[in-house]
Chains A and B, each alone.
Chain A
């Protein structure tokens, strides 16, 4: 009996060990390029490890049963007439409930840190009239947020392109240029069907809905070029509906902005 529980403990610790090792050493996600991304990846890692433990454990249990309890050639008759075990069933009701509850609360915390639970403040004075109802995606508060230092961009999506309107510069661009480490606030509206704004490296996505503006805020943390991908089926060329977001140093961004701007307003 002691021997049996020794093996059980050995197997369970091996499952945990393997799951933690895979969880910490296998990276399945793209580059982290926004404040959101490391928070997201933290949640991913936890869910990945818990998932691995359950999956590997269940798979071992099934395969072990198939080997250990397979019917041998000389065997006839039935297995043991075990119809249930109330305490065991209570255990595997309560433990998953606790795990699920903890995951739920933890992901609420993650979502809050991403800024998802914040009510939107009306810093978008130039785009929002009071009567207009705006639906929020993640309204992330940046760590190094400076008042009035937010970059506001109006996004219009149509079959099959994104257009980025910089109200302060009064120009429209097909690429989204943003300065690194600055909070970007986007008001998005669709001209035709539903589209979605997705930057995998930022771990953010928000549908762009006709007749219903949506807002998405983010803060890029890494200079580079990343794809903006439409994630909602929008017609035949849906797969080709992509744009570039170019995250650059503030000085480079200012140069680009000044080159394009029609007014003399500086950032």
Chain B
């Protein structure tokens, strides 16, 4: 069955444009689609980052003086929505998933190439629509959580476009999830067992299960919300007898698993990068697999910890506290295993390695504040404050975005056949790491001492710490410059990397770099030990 699909695709592929034009086409090649996801996501990252800079400029002074207050709310709404739905989710899932998963399972493409292309091509229009909504009547301004009744009472066109856009992006995510599950389960090369798959496959399997189980709930919720706005139904409108807390339950039923949709693939990617650059097998493969699945199961039953101040019965608060805190156990196992992977290795200190180690340090910090936030009495004070803002940026930026950069440094030779400049890469890491910590570490203190999130103005006693944070944000903005220079210089003049510059054993490196359209010239190799470093080659 595999072969028949493959041969059909290869015919289609031969009709596709060649060279750089194929990246603007409805290409069915998983490698092209992966790069489309990555570059498209990065462009939206630049937009989201510009919005973040605008927020930090506004917050450099206690008064609301940089932009009008309603524009500020639009900016923070778009910043959150773009960073989550157009940068992190598409890149850690769509970009790396599409590029790597077919290699890892030994297939020549994804299970459903056309669905794959559709999933990608839903993203640019919905992203542009979201950004363009600013020019209609103002973009959505109820935050990325869009809690009613605020989302029902703010200007409607912006909110409706936001809903449409998130629905399309959710659809794209579901298409991708189905494709990954089918590819990992059904398209494995004969002889390749599940427990021989590289860890990123397990991470994507777990993530895709979460996508398929929880994203439809978000879609349903947002459709009901749009009915409330357009048709004046009363699902969530208290004036018409609706219940606003029900929306929060439904929203977080997706949006908490969304956190794992953003971090589990990063866990998978770092599990690929660390063994290669420390020349050691991944420590504790089996426990890693079980902890991913543990996180998937627990991740589905913790959503109400976002609602500890909404008014929930005491027993519910207790249950969600314990369930949330227990996610720290499988997550902790993974971090101990990664440190054990480093231990006793022969570590190359390069950009990919540094970003991965930065990820471990940042994520441990964010994980610790996460366990604290899971405790109801702790959360009641800091809920909806800058403490929470700091916490989730440690998870999604310090965690996932660090891994995105690490992965770009790691797989750039695979995609282009060129090496990136290590000097610029290490400079990029240094500025990002310092800027990130300078920006977000002080925000914990702000939250504890009384600065709520999503405000354009604040108590003047917080000005100094906010300015430190803004300087950190400035450094983060600057850090993209050496990165972009590095990318362009390396594509143009980079040294040839050879097929396997890292001497890696995972299957994607066992072909030429860049790979041929069909991934392998002959048959796909059977890789039984993707992490067999230090072992005599059989």
Contacts and interface: CB of A to CB of B under 8 A. Distances in A.
Contacts of B449: 28-30, 200
Contact of A229 (B278, B357, B452, B456): B452
A103 B243 contact: no
A81 B533 contact: yes
A200 B318 CA distance: 23
A193 B535 CA distance: 63
Contact of A137 (B72, B309, B444): B309
B450 A229 contact: yes
B368 A69 contact: no
Closest 9 CB pairs of A and B: A211-B238, A239-B455, A135-B311, A81-B534, A200-B450, A79-B345, A236-B69, A78-B534, A107-B375
Nearest to B505: A78
A104 interface: yes
Contacts of A51: 368-369, 371-372
Given A81-B281, A211-B244, A205 B448 contact: no
A67 B143 CA distance: 44
B345 A69 contact: yes
A28 B339 CA distance: 30
Interface in A72-129: 75, 77-85, 88-89, 92-93, 96-97, 100, 103-104, 107-108, 110-111, 114, 116-117
A93 B326 CA distance: 11
Given A103-B371, A107-B376, A209-B245, A93 B287 contact: yes
A233 B150 contact: yes
A44 B430 CA distance: 32
B38 interface: no
B332 interface: yes
A47 to B, nearest CB: 5
Interface stretch (B156-164, B212-220, B381-389): B381-389
Given A93-B333, A192-B153, A116 B376 contact: yes
A120 to B, nearest CB: 10
Contact of B378 (A44, A69, A70, A201): A44
Interface in A129-170: 135-138
B321 A59 contact: no
B143 A233 contact: yes
B448 A194 contact: no
Contacts of B333: 89, 92-93, 96
Contacts of A198: 384-385, 450, 452
Interface in B139-169: 141-143, 147, 149-150, 153-154
Interface string B239-251: 1011111000000
Nearest to B379: A205
B345 A206 contact: no
Contact of B149 (A63, A92, A206, A210): A210
Given A75-B346, A84-B286, A229-B450, A96 B329 contact: yes
B283 interface: yes
Contact of A80 (B149, B344, B369): B344
A204 interface: yes
Contacts of B24: none
B371 A100 contact: yes
Nearest to A111: B377
Nearest to B383: A205
Contacts of B239: 210-211
A75 B455 CA distance: 54
B372 A70 contact: no
Main SS at interface, chain A: mixed
B340 interface: yes
Q: A30, A39, A100 — which one has the most chain B CB atoms within 10 A of its CB? A: A100
Interface in A36-69: 39-40, 43-44, 47, 51, 54-55, 58-59, 61-63, 65-66, 69
Nearest to B380: A205
A183 interface: no
Interface string B313-327: 010011001100110
Given A193-B153, A205-B309, A207-B310, A30 B448 contact: yes
Interface in A7-26: none
B73 A236 contact: yes
A214 B244 CA distance: 13
B311 A206 contact: yes
Contact of A100 (B154, B325, B347, B378): B325
A267 to B, nearest CB: 29
Interface in B260-276: none
A196 interface: yes
Interface stretch (B3-11, B113-121, B359-367): B359-367
Contacts of A245: none
A141 to B, nearest CB: 14
Given A83-B283, A239-B457, A55 B381 contact: no
A243 interface: no
Given A194-B147, A200-B448, A229-B452, 19 more contacts: A28-B448, A51-B369, A51-B371, A58-B361, A66-B349, A66-B353, A71-B349, A78-B279, A79-B278, A84-B284, A100-B329, A198-B385, A209-B238, A210-B244, A212-B245, A233-B453, A238-B456, A239-B452, A239-B456
Q: B345, B353, B385 — which one has the most chain A CB atoms within 10 A of its CB? A: B345
Given A78-B280, A100-B328, A54 B368 contact: yes
Contacts of B488: none
Contacts of A210: 149, 238-239, 244
A234 interface: yes
A96 B238 CA distance: 43
B337 A212 contact: no
B335 interface: yes
B309 A206 contact: yes
B245 A79 contact: no
A143 B220 CA distance: 47
Contacts of A200: 381, 448-450
Nearest to A240: B457
Nearest to B291: A93
B500 interface: no
A186 to B, nearest CB: 13
A92 B332 CA distance: 8
A114 to B, nearest CB: 6
Q: A40, A78, A203 — which one has the most chain B CB atoms within 10 A of its CB? A: A78
A58 B367 CA distance: 12
Contacts of A78: 279-280, 346, 533-535
A241 B499 CA distance: 60
B26 interface: no
B464 interface: no
A231 interface: yes
A233 B332 contact: no
Nearest to A106: B375
Contact of B325 (A80, A88, A103): A103
B380 A138 contact: yes
Nearest to A99: B328
B313 to A, nearest CB: 8
11 contacts: A59-B364, A71-B279, A93-B329, A96-B328, A104-B321, A104-B375, A205-B381, A212-B244, A212-B245, A233-B142, A239-B456
